[in-house]
Amino acid sequence: MKVAVVGATGMVGNVLLQVLREQNFPITELIPVASEKSVGKQIEYDGSSFSVVNLETAVSMKPDVAIFSAGGETSLLWAPKFAAVGTTVIDNSSAWRMDPTKKLIIPEINGHLLTPEDKIIANPNCSTVQLLLALAPLHKAYKIKRVVVSTYQSITGTGVKAVEQMENERNGIQGEMAYAYPIDKNCIPHCDSFEENGYTKEEMKLTNETKKILDEKIHVTATAVRVPVVGGHSEAVNVEFENDFDLADVRKILHNTEGITLKDDPTTNSYPMAKYAEGKDDVFVGRIRRDESQANTLNMWIVADNLRKGAATNAVQIGKLLIEKGLLAVTV
């Protein structure tokens, strides 16, 4: 199978290559794709060396699947060109997520919707993936009415420049700023650009993507905050259900959900933290407790490595599901 990784030299691209190797994705030919300045660089993968090519060359090579992690503008322009030569595109950007003609997929939740006609498949926003993996089984059991979520998002979600900014600040070095303000020893309530309604794009992604993937009737309000953390995104989540619940049953449901690790024991100070989610594929859930201010309402704390399940791992899982469903032919 020919596999193109678009944005192979970036932060998510590097993790994508790592996850593809870990998951034994059946690659016969890797096509690393990046900007013109990176063309010709060598990418090591599974004991072999592959040359970075530009997008035009990659399209001409007609890969079986192309996993995009190179920004929305690149995806809007180039994903249709790959699809036109028969390539199945799995896109990590926000470009296609709310397009009514494109599927927005978390394999554990709605992977069954994929068909042979889906040549451009959208990967949800990283903070949406971890939120919905925990909410989906609870929605099935108790029917969610409303979600209030506050995110504490890793600087890795912004990219290499943000990590460099924090490291520079910690070492007293003046350097390029990824943010309008210092990030070290600070929290910035501003993820992505502001919309006319006063919410940021990141906050509206949580609202709109939840409705598209889970249920149009669910009301979601979000506040997204950038924090000086590298390991992953954390979310404080308040969920109001139509039906009452038993806390023991909630824990049992989450414990039995694929892709979730329950870490919820206050007696031993056991709860999810970004530091310990880093490098792991699971979504971690804890601090489960009843909201005592109103009926049928639950509080949770959800943490995941945003570069893995929030991006690379989810994309690779989509690819593996396509193979399992016979929607991607494996060349023998």
Angle at 101 between CA 99 and CA 107, to 5 degrees: 85
Pair 30, 3: CB distance under 8 Å: yes
Which DSSP letter does residue 97 get?
T
Provide the Cα torsion 240, 287, 273, 249; round to 10°: -80
Which amino acid, one-letter code, is at 168?
Answer: N
Place of tokens 């199978």: 1
Distance CA(80)–CA(87), nearest Å, equals 9
Catalytic residue among 187, 191, 233, 255: 233
- Write b or e for each residue in 249-259: b if 16 or more Cβ atoms lie within 10 A of its Cβ, otherwise e: ebeebbeebeb
Place of tokens 């020919």: 2
Q: What are phi and psi of 320, to 5 degrees?
A: -65, -35
Distance CA(239)–CA(221), nearest Å, equals 11
Q: Is the dihedral of CA 279, 282, 283, 285 positive or negative?
A: negative
Comparing CA positions, the residue from 290, 309, 195, 199 lying closest to residue 249 is: 290
Catalytic-residue membership of 126: yes
Catalytic residue among 112, 126, 190, 219: 126
CB neighbourhood size of 262 (10 A): 21
Catalytic-residue membership of 187: no
> Which residues are part of the catalytic machinery?
126, 233
